[in-house]
Amino acid sequence: MGVDPKYIGTKFPPFSFTVERGKVREFALAIGDDNPAYFSDDPALPPTFPITFAFWSDANLIDKLASMGVQIWNVLHAEQEYIHIKPIKVNDTITGQATIADIYTKEGRSAGTMDFIAVAVEYTNQNGDLILKENMLLIAR
Amino acid sequence: MTLYYEDIEKGAALPELVKGPTSHIQFVRYSGASGDFNPIHTVPEMAKAVGLDSVIAHGMLIMAFAGQLVTDWAGPGNVRRLKVRFSGMTLPGEKLTCRGEVTEKDDSGEEPLAIGKLTVKGDDDSLKLKGEFTVAVKKRA
């Protein structure tokens, strides 16, 4: 298919999400982690909880990818990285800024080529502190 | 039990974590918790339409298991970096084993760190993901 490399460097509009206690509890239950730290009045967050920031905000990353010609059900998630810089607490309002960091093509092992899309997201809290970096590598089939 | 920097040995294994068996219901639940409603995780007809035998787990659910391996050992809130490369798909009914190992210690920065690598494997020893982690650990007073 081919994803146009012209999208490299594209910055998407910032998106925001306020961390809720019930969401943390729901997430811990869904992953089957009964650590009491996630169920307290002032819970810690599981390290992969930030996946909710993009999916439960108005980020619409799936629509943004679709506008680049990438359909979500044809996307494989190749790599995921979180770099936690400062603690995130319940009631924090997190703002994410996503950038298309790279687009490149490789020959597949079997048939055809695969398009790799690297997405980098930087997250700040309500005080403007950089709290988290996320790097995502997607493969469009 | 507090984990102390001085007690961590390079090459030491993290306590193994067994998760699952996974289930279609868990994938539905994780869709709701994470906000990732890609139908290949929840709608069997859609999964079959894209050539899969059944719904498959979100890669991020398996990454959450890897996160639990690390937080069970180092405590929630101490994870500074978690990076994974996804390898194999996970089907409903699979039991997964998460293993990790310390590869490095570093007390040259602001806070003492333990660095390591991890894997999540299925029943048949098939690799689901491999990754790297960095956690902050206390020093004895």
Domain ranges of chain A: 5-19+58-140
Whether residue A52 and residue B32 make contact (CB cut-off 8 A), yes or no, is no
Q: Which residues of A lie closer than 8 Å to B, measured between beta carbons?
A: 23, 26-27, 29-33, 35, 37-38, 44-48, 51-52, 54-56, 72-74, 76-84, 87, 135
How far apart are the C-alpha atoms of A113 and A110, rounded to whole Å?
Answer: 9
Residues 6+ apart with CB under 8 A from B137: B3, B4, B5, B8, B74, B78, B112, B113, B114
To the nearest 10 degrees (0 to 180), the angle between helices B24-34 and B59-74 is 80
The answer as to CATH 3.10.129.10 being correct for domain B5-22+57-136 is: yes
Whether residue A46 and residue B38 make contact (CB cut-off 8 A), yes or no, is no
The residue ranking higher by pLDDT, B117 or A63, is: B117
A63, B78, B83 from A44: Cα distances, Å = 31, 10, 20
pLDDT for position A47: 98
How far apart are the C-alpha atoms of A136 and B70, rounded to whole Å?
Answer: 20
With tokens 């050992």, the residue in question is B73
pLDDT for position B50: 87
Name the percent of chain A lying above pLDDT 70.
Answer: 98
The predicted model gives A14-41 an average pLDDT of: 97
pLDDT at A138 over 90: yes
Q: Confidence band (pLDDT; 50, 70, 90) for A1? A: low
Q: Confidence band (pLDDT; 50, 70, 90) for A111? A: low
How far apart are the C-alpha atoms of B79 and B131, rounded to whole Å?
Answer: 13
- Residue pair A97/A11 in contact (Cβ under 8 Å)? The answer is yes
Local structure of A67: helix, strand or coil: helix
Sequence spans of domains, chain B: 5-22+57-136
Token duo for residue B121? 């494997």
Local structure of A44: helix, strand or coil: coil
pLDDT for position A71: 80
Closest chain B residue by Cα to residue A137: B85
Count the neighbouring beta carbons within 10 Å of the beta carbon of residue B72.
17
ipTM of the complex: 0.96
- Residue pair A121/A54 in contact (Cβ under 8 Å)? The answer is yes
pLDDT for position A113: 82
Whether residue B60 and residue A56 make contact (CB cut-off 8 A), yes or no, is no
A30, B86, B134 from B119: Cα distances, Å = 21, 10, 14
The predicted model gives B99-115 an average pLDDT of: 97
**Topology of the domain comprising A5-19+58-140:** Thiol Ester Dehydrase; Chain A (3.10.129)
Q: Which of the 8 DSSP states describes residue A37?
A: G
pLDDT for position B28: 98
Q: For residue range B17-66, list pLDDT tens digits in order.
A: 999 999 999 999 999 999 999 899 999 999 999 899 999 999 999 999 99
pLDDT for position A107: 83
pLDDT for position A75: 85
- For residue A46, the one-letter residue type is P
Q: For residue range A44-96, list pLDDT tens digits in order.
A: 999 999 999 988 888 788 888 888 888 877 888 999 999 999 999 999 999 99
The predicted model gives A29-42 an average pLDDT of: 97
